[in-house]
Structure 1
Amino acid sequence: MASQTAPTIDAAGIRAPQFADILTWLQDQYRAIYGADVYLEADSQDGQFLALVAAAINDSNTACIEVYNSFSPATAQGHALSLNVKLNGIRRLVPTASTVDLLLGGTVGTTITGGLVTDADGTQWRLPDTVTIPGTGSITVTATCVKLGAIEAAAGTITKIATPTFGWQTVTNPSAAVPGSPVETDAALRVRQSRSVAVPSQSIFEGIVGSVANLAGVTRLRGYENDSDTPDANGVPGHHIALIVEGGDVAAIANTIAIKKTPGTGTAGDVVQSVADAFGGSHIIRFSRPTVANIKINMTIQALTGYSSAILPRIRQAIADYLNGLSIGESVLYSKLFVPANLGNDSVGMTYAITAMTVARDAGAYGTSNVVLAFDEAAACDVADIAITVVT
C-alpha cells in the first residue's frame, strides 16, 4: 500500500500532510495489522508510540519543504536567502553607519587626508580617505558616522573641523543625515533582489536605476527619463535622466551613473560630481537628494472593550512605517492613512475606533486633504509627530 505520509511535489509546488493526517494513517495501518478493536488513544502505550513516529515523519516533511523552498529567493529564509541572492551579484547588507553629504570649502588644490568633522552633539563623521578641493573652491562628499546605527544629524549641524588641515576652511551639511540601519531583513533583501534583475535588462535606464538601488546605503530611489526634445513636467531637460537618491555615497552613485549611462545622455540634479573615465577624461554627473516632507498626524480614538494604552505605540509605529515606506514623489493620500492607523489585520484594532484624523506637512495647518508631493520629495514621519487623543 502506498504511503500517505510523504511530501508531494507537483505543478503547484510542494505540500505535505498535516501531523493529524499522518497519525490517522498510522493508526489505520496499525489496526489493519492487529485488528480494528485495538486501543490507540493518547493514554495508551501504542497510541503514544504512533504519535512519536508521526511527529518524526512530520518533522522530516517540514525539513523537506524548507529545503525545497530554499532554492528560490521568493521563499528562502535566513542563510539560504543570503546564498540565493549571490547569483544576482548582491549580498545581504550588514549593519551600516549613518551617512551625510558635506559641503567642504577651502583653498583650491588642498588635499584632506583622513579628515574628521563633528556635529553639534560631538559625534564624529569620517570623510573619504582623500579629498581634494577642486577649482570651484568647494566639493560635496559623503561622510560616514564613526558609530554604527541610526545616528541623526539635522541640516546645518555639522560645522566643526576635528582634524585641521591647512587650506581647509569650512564644512557644513546642507541636508540631514541618512540614518544607518541594522542587518538587512529577509523582506528587504527580497525587494532588493527583485530590483537587481533590472541591472542586465534591455532598457539602459532600468539598468541604471537597478545598479544605483543596489549600492550600499541607498534606502529610496526614483528615476525619471525624458527622451523628448523639451523639458518635461518635472523640469527635467530633454534627453536627460534625473535620479533622486536617498542615502548612499555621492561618489559611488555618480560613478555608477557614469558607467551605466549611454554616451550623450545628460544627467539632471543639484548634486554635482566630476567622474574620470578610463581615458583620463572628466565628466560631470548630476543627481539629486530628495527634499524631505515631514508629515505630522493628529488623531482621536474612542476606547472600546479590551483597549489598553499599550496599543498607542503600536498605532504610532504602524503609521510612521507606512509613511516612511512611501516612494520618492509618492503623495500622502489621506484616506490611506486609516489602514495603518487601524492596525490592519491585527485583532487589537478592534479595541478602538478612529473618530477623527488630520494630517499636516512641516509647519503647515492640519487638515483632511491629501499631501501632494513633488517628484523629488519624500515623505518622512517620526513617531513623536503622531499625536493621539483617547476618549471613552
Structure 2
Amino acid sequence: MTLKTIAPVIDENGVTAPTYDQIIAYLKDKYRGIYGDDAYLEADSLDGQFLGVLALEFANVGSACVQVYNSFNPKTALKDALTRNVKINGIRRSLATFSTADLLITGIPGTAIRNGVASDKNGNKWNLPALVTIPSDGQITVTAKASQAGAILALANSITTITTPTRGWLSVTNLTSSSMGQDIESDTKLRQRQALSTQNAASSQTDALCGAILALNDVTRCKAFENDTSQVDVNGLPANSVCIVVYGGDSKEIAEIMAVKKAMGCAYYGNTNITVLSPYSDPKVVQIYRPTVKQISYQVRIVSTDSYSADTSDAISQNLATYTNALDIGDKITQNKIIGVANLFGAEASMSYEVDSISILVDGVPVDGDYILPFGCVAFCDASNNAIEVTSE
C-alpha cells in the first residue's frame, strides 16, 4: 500500500499511524524520486541507515500520537493517563495497601484502649484504631490494620494475642479471615472499578450501594447477592434479604453507607455485625459479609527445550499468582485459562517450553479439573507455594 503521508491521521474511524516498514518504504520512494531509481538504500549503505534512523523516530512519534489519542478513553488509557481519567467518576487509583482484619474486642464496659495492638499466630502485629471504647454490652468489632504493608493472611480465629495489655481488655479474635493488602492498583482493576462506579447514580438501589462501597479507600472487591423470595436460597440467605460481600475497606465506613442506602423491609445478611448511629442517634446493627480466603496454589508440569532458563519457572509462578489474586468474589478457576496464563504468551521465554499439565490445590488439597470459589470466598495465591516440575524433551 502506497502512503500519501507518514503523519498520524485522525478521522471518523479514530486514529491511525503508519508502521516502521511503511515509513521506511515511503522515505526510500521519496529519496529515489529525488536522486534516481538507481540509488542504493539497503541497510548496509550509509543512506539506507540514515533513512532507517528517520523512519524509527517517525514511527515513535506516530506511536506517541496514538497513545495520546487513546489516553482520553478509560478503556484504552494507561498508567497516569488512566489515573487522571477516572477522577471524573470521583474515584482514584488505589495505592499499595495494608492488610486489614475485623477484630471482636471484649472487656469491661467503658474501657478505653489507646493505640492497641494485637498479634496473630504467625507473629504479625495488627494495629487497632487510636481509641477503642468498649460499649455497655462488653464487646465491639473494629477494623485493625497490619503494621506492615502487603498481603498478610490471618485465618479466622488466628488473631488472639493482646500485644499491648490494657486493664479491662479481656480478649481479641478475628471471626473472619483478613482482607489482604495489595500492590498499587493495576490498570485492569482500575478500569473494572471505573465501570462499576458509574452505577453510583443507577436506578437499582443495590447497584448504587455497590458503586458507593467500591469508591471507599482500600475496598478492592464488592458483590451483592439478593434473595427476594419467601424462603432461604441456595447461598443460605434468609428470605427477603441482601448480602453485601466486601473485601477490604473499613467496616464502619462500609456499614454507614449500607445503613443510608438500606431498602425498606429488606434485611442485611452477613457474618460481621457493625453498630452505627442513625440520623437520630439511635444505634443500629448492620451486617456485612467478610469473605473467607481460599489459599490457591498450583502444581505445573512443563516440557522444556534447550533454550529454557531457570528464571522462567519464577515467571510462571508469579504469573499464576497475579492472575489468581485478581479474581473476583466467588469466581471460577478454569484449566483452559490458567494454562494460557502459565504459557506466558507474548514473552520470549514462552518459546522455551510447553505446559504439559496443571493441578489446582485449594488449602493444600488437590482438586479435579476446574474450581469454583464457594459463596463469599476470594482466592489468594502466594507465588512461592507453586511447584514447577521441569522435564526435558
Q: Report the TM-score range of the alignment, normalised by the length of the smaller protein.
A: 0.7 to 0.9
Q: Describe the SS at the equivalent of 1:71.
A: coil
Q: Is structure 2 residue 209 aligned with structure 1 residue 208?
A: yes
* Residue matched to 1:159: 160
Structure 1 pair 47/91, CA: closer, same or farther in 2 (3 Å)? same
Deviation sequence 1:211-235 (CA, Å, 0-9, x none): 2223222233321012233332212
Displacement of 1:162 in angstroms is 3.7
How far off is 1:109 after superposition?
A: 2.8
Aligned to 2:252: 251
User: Is residue 2:240 matched to residue 1:242?
Assistant: no
- What is residue 73 of structure 1 aligned with on the other side? 74
Match of 2:11 in 1: 10
Residue aligned with 2:260, SS: helix
What is the CA distance between 1:384 and its match in structure 2? 4.3
2:376 aligned partner, one-letter code: D
Kindly provide the amino acid, as one letter, of the partner of residue 329 in structure 1: G
The letter of the residue matching 1:311 is: T
Is the alpha carbon distance of 1:141 and 1:346 closer, same or farther for their aligned partners in structure 2, counting shifts above 3 Å? same
After superposing the two structures, state which structure 1 stretch, 5-14 or 46-55, moved more.
46-55
Q: CA deviation at 1:288?
A: 1.1
Shift in Å at residue 351 of structure 1? 4.4
Q: Which amino acid aligns with 1:383?
A: A
In the superposition, relative to structure 1, how do residues 385 and 17 fare at CA in structure 2: closer, same or farther (>3 Å)? closer
Q: Tell me which moved more, 325-334 or 209-218.
A: 325-334
Q: Secondary structure at the match of 1:184?
A: coil
Measured after TM superposition, the shift of residue 86 of structure 1 is 0.3
Aligned residues: 390
Distance in 2 between the 1:291 and 1:40 partners? 65
Contact kept in structure 2, 1:330 and 1:375, CA below 8 Å: no
Q: 1:287-326 counterparts in 2 under 5 A?
A: 287-326=288-327
8 A Cα contact 1:116 1:161, kept in partner: yes
How large is the Cα RMSD of the aligned pairs? 3.1
CA shift in 2, pair 1:311/1:169, >3 Å: same
**Alignment partners' CA distance in 1, 2:286 and 2:349:** 50
How many angstroms apart in 1 are the aligned matches of 2:268 and 2:25? 67
Work out the CA distance in 2 between the residues paired with 1:348 and 1:38.
41
Q: Distance in 1 between matches of 2:48 and 2:259?
A: 70
Kept after mapping to 1: 8 A contact 2:177/2:292: no
The residue aligned with 2:106 is 105
**CA deviation string 1:180-232 (max 9, x = no partner):** 22222222222221221122222111111122223222233321012233332
Shifted more, 140-149 versus 310-319: the winner is 310-319
Distance (Å, rounded) in 1 between the aligned partners of 2:337 and 2:298:
13
Tell me, yes or no, if structure 1 residue 185 matches structure 2 residue 190: no
The question of whether the paired residues in 2 share the 8 Å contact of 1:334 and 1:368 is answered with no
- Structure 2 CA distance for partners of 1:145 and 1:335, relative to 1, 3 Å: same
How far is the alpha carbon of 1:268 from its aligned partner?
0.4
2: CA distance, partners of 1:345 / 1:49: 31
Contact kept? 2:276, 2:286, Cα under 8 Å:
yes
The answer for the alignment partner of 1:380 in structure 2 is 380
Kindly indicate whether the alpha-carbon contact (under 8 Å) linking 1:245 and 1:289 is maintained by their aligned counterparts in 2.
Answer: yes
Change in 2 beyond 3 A, CA 1:362/1:43: closer
What are the ranges of 5 or more consecutive residues in structure 1 without an aligned counterpart? none
- After superposing the two structures, state which structure 1 stretch, 89-98 or 334-343, moved more: 334-343
Contact 1:303–1:353 (8 Å) recurs in 2: yes
**SS of residue paired to 2:316:** helix
Cα drift, residue 264 of structure 1: 3.2
Report SS of the residue matched to 2:200: coil
Question: What CA distance in whole angstroms lies between the structure 2 residues aligned with 1:6 and 1:300?
Answer: 49
The CA deviation at 1:36 is 4.4
